Amino acid sequence: MSDETPAGTTPAPGPAIPAALTDAPGYQVRRLHQAYLALWARAVDPTLTGPQFAVLTAVRAAPGRDQRSMATAVALDTSTMADVARRLETRGLLVRHTAAADGRRKLLYLTEAGERALRAARYRLDLLDERLLAPYDAERRGELIRLLTSLADHWEGLSEDPAP
């Protein structure tokens, strides 16, 4: 049996998305996230992930900070941060030095290759951001970023609260 639409007919439309989903903020956030991941891979870098980019950006801003504080800065749990840092180190984009005062602490530094990768990704990300925010003028863009930041802060706070 063929999945093709017979000539002269139009394919049946997909199922309507229930209002219970379209009205749910979490559903819309997931849609945005899925679309963003697809765009990132095509427009920014197919091998450098968003979390890796965030780590490189944070390390550039504060070289020599420890892995744990970097995890907090980029909203990653410590085990994910350790994995991301290890992958970046394997790729030669950053180095981890053991802190002299505490052998368990890993201090992070960009390599020259990391600096180049970050600069190239940043350029492509700026172009993507421009495309993503094209429907909005500068004032609305600022408002949108403030709202998204406020929402993220609120949701992170809720995730840290004990279960209701």
Give the DSSP per-residue string, 135-161. Answer: TS-HHHHHHHHHHHHHHHHHHHHHHHS
Note whether 93 and 117 are within 8 A (CB): yes
Q: How high is the pLDDT of residue 163?
A: 67
Note whether 96 and 106 are within 8 A (CB): yes
Name the pTM for this structure. Answer: 0.81
Helices 25-43, 50-61: crossing angle, 10 deg rounding: 80
Torsion of the alpha carbons at 86, 153, 125 and 134, rounded to the nearest 10: 160
The string of pLDDT tens digits covering residues 53-66 is 999 999 999 999 99
The string of pLDDT tens digits covering residues 96-132 is 998 888 878 899 999 999 999 999 999 999 999 999 9
The CATH code of domain 44-157 reads: 1.10.10.10
